[in-house]
Structure 1
Amino acid sequence: MSERKVLTDTQRRALLASPAGWLACGFGSGLAPVAQGTFGSLAAILPWLLLRQLSLPFNMLVIVIGFAIGVWACDIAGRALGVDDHRSLVWDEFVGQWIALLPALLAPWWAVIAGFALFRLFDVWKPWPIRWLDRHLKGGLGVMVDDVVAGVFAAVVLLVLLHVVRA
């Protein structure tokens, strides 16, 4: 289960001492004093705006590579912090948010807001199997997988919403 306490100065230094730590904390977005996951999800939209200009296959490739790098980075950062899934580790929000926004690649601007909100809903609510994954998988894989599934859930709901609105 995720650790929910504030970073100590020693933990912050350990996290920021390596490229893996910088990536795992979402280039600093995970160091916000509150709502780290929300700040990480918001920060993820900035690179997504560039990715939006590219094809779906390229976006999928970025997500797969981002996931693999995230497993590595979050594992290293978690070990440096001494906590499997500290709330400051938000690279999983980046990848999950990008998945949630896949249906918004060719959609109107409001789909980005809806995709953000849906991802945050599923990431916080953690319906089955997200909560089970969050509790049972450890290390970098455990950090990443529950947000990937939350992103898939959000993408499916957004896709249905876009279909209903277009109908």
Structure 2
Amino acid sequence: METLVSAPRRPGVRLLLSHPAHWIALGAGSGLSPIAPGTVGTLWGWLVFVAIEQVLGQGRQADLTWAAILAIGWLVGWWACTRTARSLQVADPGAIVWDEIWAIWLVLWVVGAADWRGQALAVAAFRFFDAAKPGPVAWADQLFKLPKGQPIGWAQGLGIMFDDLVAAGCTLLLLALAVVVRQGGVSAGLLS
């Protein structure tokens, strides 16, 4: 583990290009946005999801490939987020957006064959949970926080990813409840 010895670094193109972990964690540069980097990273993730989905198509093989992408993306993201947080000397820098990218991929994959309006709703719901951090998302966000000046370790990289996993779970729960209500499941005796 590295110890914080100086002031936090500002993320920039030089850092982005200095190591593959930074390229990943900073979302190919989307995290360098001066305004709402988490939202920009999420939108970049949505765009990349659509592009990958066009290549993979639909069906069992596409689902298996997405499952592999998400599993590998979690592990690589944990490493990249940890390394980049150490480089920036901040435990959870706003410029790190791999967590948003990974989480929106998970949400959109689970949502399945939604049209662009359904995907936009999923993106908006995810951004709400990720930015507002209600209830369980706030808990997850604080779980791996460090006091200032403490060394940034693997737990902080996990924490960067974990609160977005919880935000994705909350998003999927909300969308599932919306589908049940829309289909009349509650009024049709779902709760009886």
TM bracket (short chain): 0.7 to 0.9
Q: Which of 1 and 2 has greater Rg?
A: 2
TM-score (norm 2): 0.75
Measured after TM superposition, the shift of residue 24 of structure 1 is 0.2
Give the counterpart letter for 1:41 in structure 2. T
Give the counterpart letter for 1:61 in structure 2. A
Q: Give every structure 1 segment of 4 or more consecutive aligned residues whose post-TM-superposition deviation is greater than 6 Å.
A: none
Unaligned runs of 5+ in 2: 1-7, 145-154, 185-192
Aligned equivalent of 2:173: 156
Aligned equivalent of 1:37: 38
2:163 pairs with 1:146: yes
Q: How big is the alpha-carbon RMSD for the aligned residues of Structure 1 and Structure 2?
A: 2.0
SS at match of 1:88: coil
Measured after TM superposition, the shift of residue 7 of structure 1 is 5.8
Aligned equivalent of 1:3: none
CA distance in 2, matches of 1:69, 1:109: 28
Q: Is this contact kept in 2: 1:99–1:152, CA < 8 A?
A: no
Percent identity, please: 36
TM-score (norm 1): 0.86
Q: How does 1:1-167 map to 2 (within 5 A)?
A: 8=10, 11-12=11-12, 13-52=14-53, 53-54=57-58, 55-137=62-144, 138-165=155-182
The CA deviation string for residues 17-64 of structure 1, in whole angstroms up to 9 with x for no partner, is: 101001100000000011000000000012211343243332222112
Equivalenced residues, count? 160
